[in-house]
Chains A and B, each alone.
Chain A
Amino acid sequence: MTLDKCIAVLFLTVSIVYGYASYTYPLLPFELNMVFLPNTMPLALSVLGILISSIIILSKKQVPAESLTDGDIDFSRLRDYNWGQALGLLIAMTLYAVLLRPLGFIPSTVAFLVGCGWILGERRLHIMLASSLIGAGTIWYLVQEVLGIFLKPLPWFMG
């Protein structure tokens, strides 16, 4: 099964679950007499979702070859893709999301930028560190001092 059909199957499952959740949505007593209910549109959407995903799953038509290479994806060269680096960056992003608050904006951002550079193969740490510090400092100043959006700059133990 091709990836686009797998996604259609997944969407079909989501539509069925969504439809069930809409059908069993707890309505308030006064809502029962209304013409339009909170679950009217979700129910309609789940039916449409089931229909469309079924059409994609059941259609025999193959995706034209040119549309597969259209844009940026070359399916014949998937093995050459840098999967390890992409995974490493996703882990770095997740860690950044978790540590942003406890570590503070500036240390976590510098660590994130240096870490991402390291994953991508950059070994000149002094340049990466300097550019990260300038980048993080500038954005912090712009966001907190100029725009007035609070961004805790330092770790929890430093206030």
Chain B
Amino acid sequence: MLEGIMLGLETAFSLQNLFLVVFGCLIGTLIGMLPGLGPMSIIAIMIPVAINIGDPSAALILLAGVYYGAIFGGSTSSILINAPGVAGTVATAFDGYPMARQGKAGKALTIAAISSFCGGTVGAILLLFFAPALSSVALLFHSAVYFALMVVGLSAIAAFAGSGKVAKALMMTIAGLMLATVGESALFNAPRFTMGLSDLQSGFSFVTLAMALFALPEALFLVLNPNKSNTSANNQAIKDLRITKEEAKKIAPVIARQSIQGFLIGVMPGAGATIASFLGYAVERNIAKGAEQEEFGKGSIKGLAAPEAANNAACTGSFVPLLTLGIPGSGTTAILLGALVALNVNPGPRLMIDNPSIFWAVIISMYIGNVVLLILNLPMIPYIAKLLTIPRNYLIPFILFFTMIGAYIGQNNATELLILIGLGIGATLLRFADYPLPPLLIGFILGGMMENNFARAVNLTDGAAFMYERPMTLGLLLVGVLLIVIPIFRKYRLKTNSINVADGD
């Protein structure tokens, strides 16, 4: 492990990679602050840049920096104007915005920066110890287990989609898997479901799909909803950045608890920063006593520190299944997985053995990224917040332009833009109908790999016997089934209980 850390230090501390971390954090923070552009959209925009760097370690270091920066940038707009650009920072706005209204915007931003830093650092330390332990089971993994793991990942994503949305999330996952079957695959050399269109010969482009599912609907919603685009930042004083000793004492245990909890939630495929931040907020609110509990929602520093520490730790945690198992823990890491595959790197148990420099460099660059974020953001907070005041008439055209050019430069094909617009309209309709979109993208990314592993396993055992021959495969498949069945069963029980109570009344 020490050898690996040294290798990571050597790679991450090269001048180019240090520059990329700083650049990534800066870009992520700046764009992440703009309402409507979350880490998924920003990473999707940055993918062509990352792919053109060529070196997978450098590309992943850049994208990880962007990821951290975007999460922090999202917190800034949540706190200042109550406009969370990212789902993971919605909980930050619960107490951050009331603090800003009380004239404590500077303090709120500082608490957010420090909590994010601690959450990210604790997460990176845990990743350092947990990731190698997980990847030590590398040799146990066969195509059958991989297939079962992907089933677990997809079921977990559906199960975590929220109450009443399991069926919708499953439908989206199947839609993603169907889209993945379009075009030629590595397994069969004939194109499938192209409807005779030569542009679909190589299937749908991942970048186009990511842009169409996330960036374009966000931009359209900014136009459609007049309230959402109201970006008049309040000009409360944001100069008082200091935290008192008592305040530090109050938030320290909160940050410690939520960093660990957030990391563990982030590790679970499908959970991610959003659930970690909400759960972190809920847990701290329940633990707090008396007056402190009353303060939650009205500007509590604990209520701000908890989701911030949790979401950054979860971001780091979501790298564990990505780097060691090849399963993305969230929509953002799904995009990162796509970028890695485009760079000819196959994340999974063998990554640490085949490409140790990539594995360790990413972990080390997480420490550096956290430090850089803190150094960059604390002094720049008053200035970067001014970006939020860019009028909507200028902001939206540029968001649309970046969305389209991101899809165009990847393929250099104008048809790709028409596909982007068509899919974007579809995605906007799906959002109106309350269908979760991340499962669609995760299904699309995992689809090809899932089919290949399934085919390999079926060919090896000459049938579907692989599903029950190995206990690990069987166990994982059962977990996958339980992840879908349990929430449905729980909901059914709740429903019958409420009917009984109503009858009793």
Contact = CB atoms under 8 A, between A and B. Distances in A.
Contacts of B383: none
A52 B400 contact: no
A36 interface: yes
Contacts of B400: 89, 93, 112, 116
Given A35-B463, A42-B178, A112-B397, A120 B417 contact: no
Interface in A1-56: 2-4, 6-8, 11, 14-15, 18, 21, 25, 28, 34-36, 38-42, 45-46, 48-49, 52-53, 55-56
A100 B164 contact: no
A30 to B, nearest CB: 12
Query: What size tier do the contact residues of chain B reach?
Result: 35 or more
A113 B401 contact: yes
Interface string A59-91: 101011001101111100000111101100110
B170 A52 contact: yes
B181 interface: yes
B500 interface: no
B164 A7 contact: no
Given A11-B175, A116-B396, A4 B49 contact: no
A117 B417 contact: no
A100 B170 contact: no
Contact of B171 (A11, A34, A83): A11
A68 B434 contact: yes
Nearest to B185: A38
B174 interface: yes
Contacts of A150: 412
Given A86-B220, A96-B404, A139-B405, A59 B167 contact: yes
Interface in A128-151: 128, 131-132, 135, 139, 143, 147-151
Interface residues of A, number: 74
A49 B174 contact: yes
A3 B459 contact: no
A40 B454 CA distance: 10
B192 A135 contact: no
Interface string B388-403: 0001111011101100
A4 B409 CA distance: 34
A78 to B, nearest CB: 9
A2 B435 CA distance: 13
A66 B223 CA distance: 23
A41 B397 contact: no
Contact of B435 (A7, A28, A122): A7
B414 A64 contact: no
B228 A72 contact: yes
Contacts of A11: 171, 175
Contacts of B49: 147
B52 A81 contact: no
B226 interface: yes
Nearest to B165: A67
A122 B220 CA distance: 17
B486 interface: no
B42 to A, nearest CB: 15
A121 interface: yes
B68 to A, nearest CB: 22
A74 B434 contact: no
A67 B192 contact: no
B48 A149 contact: yes
Contact of A35 (B409, B429, B462): B462
A41 B446 CA distance: 13
A14 B462 CA distance: 31
Nearest to A39: B192
A68 B223 CA distance: 19
A23 to B, nearest CB: 12
A150 B411 CA distance: 11
B489 interface: no
B433 A122 contact: no
B434 A82 contact: no
Interface string B189-222: 0101100000000000000000000000000110
Given A52-B170, A64-B164, A122-B393, A42 B192 contact: yes
B277 to A, nearest CB: 15
B431 interface: yes
A34 to B, nearest CB: 8
Contacts of B391: 122
Given A48-B174, A56-B167, A59-B167, A100 B417 contact: yes
A94 B174 contact: no
B392 A120 contact: yes
Contact of B178 (A18, A28, A85): A18
Given A35-B463, A72-B221, A120 B167 contact: no
B434 A4 contact: yes
A61 to B, nearest CB: 7
Contacts of A52: 167, 170-171, 174
B349 to A, nearest CB: 23
Nearest to A101: B414
B224 A81 contact: yes
Contacts of B162: 67
Which are the 8 A-B pairs with shortest beta-carbon distances?
Answer: A97-B417, A116-B397, A122-B393, A4-B433, A38-B188, A36-B455, A3-B433, A120-B393
16 contacts: A2-B433, A35-B458, A36-B459, A39-B192, A45-B178, A64-B163, A67-B164, A71-B431, A81-B224, A97-B417, A100-B417, A120-B396, A121-B393, A131-B394, A135-B401, A148-B52
Given A36-B458, A89-B400, 7 more contacts: A2-B433, A41-B177, A49-B171, A73-B225, A82-B224, A120-B223, A120-B396
Interface of A: 2-4, 6-8, 11, 14-15, 18, 21, 25, 28, 34-36, 38-42, 45-46, 48-49, 52-53, 55-56, 59, 61, 63-64, 67-68, 70-74, 80-83, 85-86, 89-90, 93-94, 96-98, 100-101, 109, 112-113, 116-117, 120-122, 128, 131-132, 135, 139, 143, 147-151
